Amino acid sequence: MIIYIHGFGGSGCGVKAEIFREYFKSNNNSFIAPSLSYVPELAVKTLEELIESYSEEVFLIGSSLGGYYAIYLADKYKIKALLLNPSVKPMETLGRLIGNTHNFYDGSLFSWSQKHINMLRQYDTKDRDLDKSLYFLLTKKDDDVLDYMEAVTKLEGSKIIIEDSGGHSFEGVEKHFENIKDFFVK
């Protein structure tokens, strides 16, 4: 089972989720991209319940804030995670968004608060000795939301591909499908 974890304000029906859904379904792989709560504790609890409910092997794909959650979950459950421009310091980057913000899927507003930032701290893996074989980082130098070098530094020793362009949305992810499939199979 492959679980796609969307980023902040995203949904399981976003562009990247749909690209992965189409690819994995066409290759007869089990795939799910749940639309998660913007409340960190609820999102992670949902993901933990999903992971624990599958009898088959689970793999994660995390994008942006979803990458932050995927790092934590991969470490907790010792499962492999593909990370697309992951946020590794969301307490800082999302701290700038306190107040009303919008969902990228339907434009609805939600309130992001310091309480949510504090919830993120419990999923921080900065003091853990991560098994780098569990992670595959795909990142873009021209990410206009996050500093790609923060993820490269955190995941040094993991499988890493750095590209010049494609932005935070990670345009062109399709060209990595075979590498992703190989990473999950090995």
- What does the pLDDT read at residue 13? 92
Chain-centroid distance of CA 35 in Å reads 13
**Low-confidence spans in the chain with pLDDT less than 50:** none
Task: Identify the CA nearest to 93 among candidates 82, 104, 101.
Answer: 101
pLDDT of 147: 94
CATH topology of domain 2-185: Rossmann fold (3.40.50)
% pLDDT > 90, the chain: 87
pLDDT per position as a tens digit, 98-122: 999 988 888 899 999 999 999 999 9
Angle 25-72-156 from CA coordinates, rounded to 5° = 95
List the domain boundaries for the chain: 2-185
CB 183 within 8 A of CB 80: yes
